[in-house]
Amino acid sequence: MIFNSLTFVVFFALVLALHNAPFSWRQKKINLLVASYLFYAAWNPPFVILLWISTVVDWWAAQAMVRSERQSIRRTWMILSVVVNLGMLAYFKYGEFLLENFVTLAASAGVTYRPPEWNIVLPVGISFYTFATLSYTLDVYLRRAKPAKSFLDYALFVTFFPHLVAGPIMRPTELVPQFAEPRRATLHQLYFGLALIILGLFQKVVLADGFLGPVVERVYDAREGVPTMIDAWVATLAFSGQIFCDFAGYSTTAIGVALCLGFAMPDNFRFPYAAVGFSDFWRRWHITLSSWLRDYLYIPLGGNRHGPVRTYMALMGTMLLGGLWHGAAWTFVVWGGLHGLYLSVERLLRNRFSNWKPGRASIVVLGLLTYLLINITWVFFRAKDFGVASTVLISMAGGASKPVPMIALLPMIYALVIVAGIVGTHWAMRDKTVEIAVERAPAWLVGALLGIMGVAIVAEQGKGSAFIYFQF
């Protein structure tokens, strides 16, 4: 089930009604748990079993770690949790990728091997809920958190439908305590939650799918021909807007849905295209993933505590694995590697020019340079293979021979105006939040904008395409 569908509208209306009905708090949590399973099962019912396995294994692993003081036993249960969770992720998400690379490696050694056809379906959201459940057992093992007191609360944490399939990646300490006492949205929370839902769906349905997506597809999904330099740049800039509006649109909608039920979820985006530098970008883009990678990968790899060489290795290793987390393809590894390289060079320059304090003009220039280099990485993120990526990059550099115009003038203008609006808004809101902006703006203006967005969503709604991050 996807947020941008009429099915979800009916589903959420029923969930909201049941949550505000005169049931006991325990019954309301059971209602939410059942609703979350139905939400996930609407896509492919058998894969609910994976949720059950992950939930039960991690619950018992955490309980066993608490009951035992012997480090060897605690480590055994922790390893069991990691193996089960990463094992399922590896099999369903990376099995075909590993098999294809094994066949290629065998062929390079002169061995011909034809494996059976891989027909395993990737469970939607498996990367997100795997990281969420892993953080539970790892935090208990490291004694950074206590296990949940109620199995119902923990099961609801794992399956809570707003964040289940595409984040934000929640930590147990952020959500489980909210299930302890009865929660019901205040009138202000309900209004603000509905406003976030409208904003998120507008980003997804109207901007990402309606205007930007078709422009991107004209170049990146072209079956023949080489794009002109302008077309390649416009398509790449359009994708930078599309991926933001699509993913931030999901996160904003998810936060709004949770808020309408009385629950708080962390921000996942803070105007990333106003970032000055790449460490700043990752503090603003997919915040819950970047903080997860920092806490459970970068720091355990050594972080910045063991000298510069170890730091650069930890940065590169973290970003390479972060790229692979996004998709089972070498293009995603290159995407992550570029970000690792950017972060390493940035750290090197910061250490070299530690006394330099940039002025306003320098900040803007550095911000635009950051955005430009991020767009280079988006080429590998969007391209289906290295052939497409190289074609687009060559065209962007002006080196294409016999290029063919692919994007019509009007869609090109729409895309550039929207992207300019997104980047401009990010800079205007760089040190602010949506909530503060809404509170300071006149009520009539907020109402008018939400009304326009709502009409645009209804007018544009049609195919109800899935969110891009569902594939991860």
Q: How far apart are the first and last CA of the chain?
A: 16
Backbone angles phi, psi at 387, to 5 degrees: -65, -45
- In angstroms, rounded to a whole number, what is the distance separating the alpha carbons of residues 382 and 217? 10
**404 φ, ψ (degrees, to nearest 5):** -125, 130
Supply angle C-alpha 466, 468, 469, rounded to 5: 110
Cα(176)–Cα(180) distance, integer angstroms: 7
- As a whole number of angstroms, the distance between CA 317 and CA 301 comes to 8
For residue 353, count CB atoms less than 10 angstroms from its CB and return exposed for 0-12, middle for 13-18, buried for 19 or more. Answer: exposed
Selecting among 19, 163, 326, 339, the annotated active-site residue is: 326
Distances from the Cα of 69 to the Cαs of 65, 74, 139, in angstroms? Answer: 8, 7, 16
| Distance, CA of 313 to CA of 297 (rounded, Å) | 12
Is residue 188 part of the annotated active site? The answer reads no
Residue type, 11: F
Q: How far apart are CA 320 and CA 327, in angstroms?
A: 11
Length of the chain equals: 472
Q: Is 363 helix (H, G, I), strand (E, B) or coil?
A: helix
Q: Which residues contact 243 (CB under 8 A, 6 or more apart)?
A: 378, 381, 382, 468
Find all residues with CB under 8 Å of 463, minimum gap 6, and list them. 209
The C-alpha atoms of residue 22 and residue 201 are separated, in whole angstroms, by 30
Q: Is 404 helix (H, G, I), strand (E, B) or coil?
A: strand
How is residue 95 written in tokens? 């099995």
Q: Per the structure block, which two tokens stand in for 425?
A: 């808004």
Is there a contact between 139 and 145 (Cβ–Cβ < 8 Å)?
yes
The residues annotated as belonging to the active site are 326
